[in-house]
Amino acid sequence: MSTTVHADAESSPTMGSSAIPRLLVATAGDRESRGAMLLAAALSARDHSDVLALGVALPFPRNHAGLFSMRTATAIDEDDRRAVLKHLERSLHALEAASTWTKQAMVGMPADVINNVASASRASMILLGAGRHKTLDRVFGGETAIAVMRRAHVPVLAAPSGVRELPRHALVATDFTPASIAAAELATKLVADDGLVTVAHVCAFGGAVHREGDLVDIYRTGARAKLDTFVRELRARSAVRVGSRMLEGEPADALLEYARREHCDLIALGGHAQGLMDRILLGSVRTQVLRGSRCSVLIVPPGPSSA
What local confidence, expressed as pLDDT, does residue 10 receive? Answer: 40
* Average of per-residue pLDDT across 102-117: 95
- Give the pLDDT confidence of 183-235 residue by residue, as tens digits: 999 999 999 999 999 999 998 766 656 666 667 778 788 999 999 999 999 99
- Residue 135 predicted with pLDDT over 60: no
Cβ(18)–Cβ(57) below 8 Å: no
Q: CA gyration radius for the chain?
A: 21
* Average of per-residue pLDDT across 67-74: 68
- Euclidean distance between CA atoms 203 and 100, whole angstroms: 46
Helices 110-120, 142-151: inter-axial angle, 10-degree rounding: 50
- Give the pLDDT confidence of 140-166 residue by residue, as tens digits: 555 788 889 888 999 999 999 999 999
pLDDT confidence tier of residue 136, bands split at 50, 70 and 90: very low
- Residue 76 predicted with pLDDT over 50: yes
* Average of per-residue pLDDT across 131-139: 48
- Residue 101 predicted with pLDDT over 80: yes
What local confidence, expressed as pLDDT, does residue 63 receive? Answer: 56
- Euclidean distance between CA atoms 268 and 149, whole angstroms: 13
- Residue bearing the bigger pLDDT, 168 or 131: 168
- Euclidean distance between CA atoms 108 and 32, whole angstroms: 20
User: DSSP state, 77?
Assistant: H
Tell me the pLDDT of the chain averaged across its residues.
Answer: 83
- Euclidean distance between CA atoms 109 and 104, whole angstroms: 15
- Give the pLDDT confidence of 263-307 residue by residue, as tens digits: 999 999 998 655 444 444 445 788 899 999 999 999 999 875 443
What local confidence, expressed as pLDDT, does residue 271 receive? Answer: 81
What local confidence, expressed as pLDDT, does residue 233 receive? Answer: 96
Cβ-based burial of 8 (10 A; exposed 0-12, middle 13-18, buried ≥19): middle
What local confidence, expressed as pLDDT, does residue 130 receive? Answer: 85
- Residue 67 predicted with pLDDT over 80: no
- Residue bearing the bigger pLDDT, 122 or 142: 122
- State pTM to two decimals: 0.84
What local confidence, expressed as pLDDT, does residue 209 receive? Answer: 62
Q: Closest Cα to residue 187, out of 165, 230, 157?
A: 157
- Residue bearing the bigger pLDDT, 104 or 278: 104
* Domains present along the chain, CATH in parentheses: 9-159 (3.40.50.620), 169-306 (3.40.50.620)
What local confidence, expressed as pLDDT, does residue 95 receive? Answer: 92
Amino acid at 208: A
What local confidence, expressed as pLDDT, does residue 273 receive? Answer: 56
What local confidence, expressed as pLDDT, does residue 258 receive? Answer: 98
What local confidence, expressed as pLDDT, does residue 8 receive? Answer: 55
Q: Closest Cα to residue 196, out of 160, 233, 237, 238?
A: 238
- Residue bearing the bigger pLDDT, 303 or 50: 50
pLDDT confidence tier of residue 61, bands split at 50, 70 and 90: confident
Taking the chain, what is the end-to-end CA distance rounded to the nearest angstrom? 34
What local confidence, expressed as pLDDT, does residue 73 receive? Answer: 82
